[in-house]
Amino acid sequence: MKPVIFGTSGLSLTADEAAFFRDADPAGYILFARNIADIAQVRALTDSLRILHGRDDLLIMIDQEGGRVARMRPPVWPAFPPGSAFDALYEIAPASAIEAARTNAQAIATTLRECGITVDALPLLDVRQPGASDIMGDRTFGSDPMRVAALGRAVLDGLKRGGVTGIVKHMPGHGRALVDSHLELPHVDADEAALAIDLEPFRTLNWAPIGMTAHIVYAAWDNTLPASLSPTVIQTVIRDRIGFDGLLMSDDLDMKALSGSVPELAAGVVAAGCDLALNCWARMDEMIGIVNALPDITPRARERRDAAMSHAATPTDDAPLDALLAKRDAFLALA
């Protein structure tokens, strides 16, 4: 198995993709809107990936946050609210906000599980700071670390109830970035005391099964390399200070924050301490280069992958989707 998550190009696997993926044996896959048409089609795609590898516990992930980040959209699937909706409710009714976030996450998981998707890139534990780039904005649970952690915990719980594993992101915190890391490399100059605020939700939820790194330079820890490529940030901050021992993946290697070829970056994030590299765009030449550049997955990374995929292997609550949405909406109406 190679320590990488790959994208696929369309609504079904091409013959070339099937042959390549069978031989390369990546640790998992990520789906985007280009892979999504309807429930039956997505289920057929995810089933074909499981059959290809002979693994029922295959990591198949998606970014289904709600709000502006949603790959599965109406009219086939419900529209889900962004994180800011739960932040606003928490302001007046914390317990109701926590239950709304949990119920919303379970509803998301119910739609994903039906399609054979096993992992969602949610929750964001980024603590929003004044003046930061709007790339986080309404996606976050706000600017109070305790609130972010409480709502993040509820999301992880709700996803698990619905049979889907969550990913906490973006370690060690994207809330201070002044620019969008999809477009350029952010530099955060905050000192250790300020950055402790950013770490707090991740420390509180350091038992999460999967985490995702941020493509950001934190001058207080490593003034040269972004976190995804920094052994210092990954080991000293994420593993030691936060105490996170789950499966750690990079953010997408194709984001403009990073420079260098995609295969070089894949090798770099794994060498720095990420368990998995994330490559989203299904470009065959890049994927071949990545496989050639990467070693096999380490035994410890494989253990973490296996633990993450067993975390929510079976739904624990079979509440109907309509009932979950109605319950969530009743809570959100309070705000």
Q: Which residues are catalytic?
A: 182, 251
Helix residue ranges, H only, 25-170 = 39-53, 83-92, 94-114, 145-161
The answer for residues whose C-beta is within 8 angstroms of residue 37's C-beta and 6 or more apart is 11, 76
- Contact of 80 with 132, CB cutoff 8 Å: no
- What's the DSSP call for residue 279? E
CA dihedral for 67, 68, 72, 73, sign (positive or negative)? positive
* Residues 240, 92: Cα–Cα separation, whole Å: 36
d(C-alpha 59, C-alpha 199), whole Å: 27
Structure tokens at 292: 């050639």
Residue whose C-alpha is closest to residue 126's, from 73, 168, 159: 168
